[in-house]
Amino acid sequence: MTTKSTTGTTAARPAARQKQSKPEPAPARRPGRPAGSARGPEQRARLLDVALTLFAQRGILDTTLGEIAREAGFTPAMVHYYFKTRDQLLDVLIDERFVPLRAELGSPFREHPDDPVAAIAYLAQRLIDVSTRHPWFPPLWVREVISEGGLLKQRMHERFGTAHQRAALAAIRKWQREGRLDRDLEPSLVFTSVLGLTIVPLAMSKKWRNDPLRKSLSPDDIARHAVALLTHGVAPR
């Protein structure tokens, strides 16, 4: 009786196992947008919103990119992907948030070139509307534009200069010569007065929550008071 040898079969098994292909290593991640890049525009917009809120609360110089990242719920790396420095972030905010608001606040004078009283009244109302839509606007304006040494005011001046302000003053003087505005008005204080009657009360409104005399004031109340004072003064009608 002949016995078949199994040596060849047994020896072939280890060789077969050795020939099995090894799994390919995962490809290295290419540089570019962080995970979730499909939501990139939304993430970027949220970072801008959070930055404006923190700038209004703490000031620009006292707010870091890391704090913005934490408040937004993002990693510092994600913030640095969109904005390398705080200065770059501030320039983006000026271009994308403040330039459109600047145009919106100038529209009353384009719409009422021959009626400065109506234009100033509409400007007061427009400031209230903008502040209602963007709660960060009043405190940020007070902290960074009205106050001495505000970084936003400095950057806006560097970007746009004073041509816009000079044109506005020239228009006010022209209206005074034409008898359309009170000649006793000081042109350089007209816009400061409008801002003082609208932006300052709105910026202080949070502090009035426990004030029994002012806690019930609404933005509409502030707007009505500002327009009445600007257009009719304090004398009874």
What's the total number of domains in the chain?
2
Is residue 233 classed as helix, strand or coil in its secondary structure?
coil
What's the pTM?
0.77
71: domain CATH number? 1.10.10.60
- pLDDT tens-digit readout, 55-114: 999 999 999 999 999 999 999 999 999 999 999 999 999 999 999 999 999 899 889 989
CATH of the domain at 137: 1.10.357.10
- Domain containing 115 equals 98-232
**Range of weakest confidence among 21-25, 133-137, 164-168, 176-180:** 21-25
- The residue among 84, 118, 146 that closes a domain is 84
**Backbone Cα Rg of the chain:** 31
Question: What's the whole-number average pLDDT of the chain?
Answer: 85
Angle at 192 between CA 173 and CA 99, to 5 degrees: 95
- Phi and psi torsions of 28, nearest 5°: -65, 145
- Distance, in Å, from the CA atom of 93 to the CA atom of 84, rounded to the nearest integer, reads 14
Q: How confident is the model at residue 37 (pLDDT cuts 50, 70, 90)?
A: very low
pLDDT, one tens digit per residue, over 155-201 is 999 988 888 889 889 999 999 999 999 999 999 999 999 999 999 99
Task: Please indicate, yes or no, whether residues 103 and 180 belong to a single structural domain of this protein.
Answer: yes
Closest CA to 196 of 133, 135, 123: 123
Nearest in space to 191 (alpha carbons), one of 218, 174, 171 = 171
Instruction: Note whether residue 149 is domain-resident.
Output: yes
- Is residue 173 a part of any domain in this protein? yes
State the burial class of residue 177 (Cβ atoms within 10 Å of its Cβ: 0-12, 13-18, 19+).
exposed
227 in the same domain as 172? yes
- Asked if residue 188 and residue 212 are part of one domain, the reply reads yes
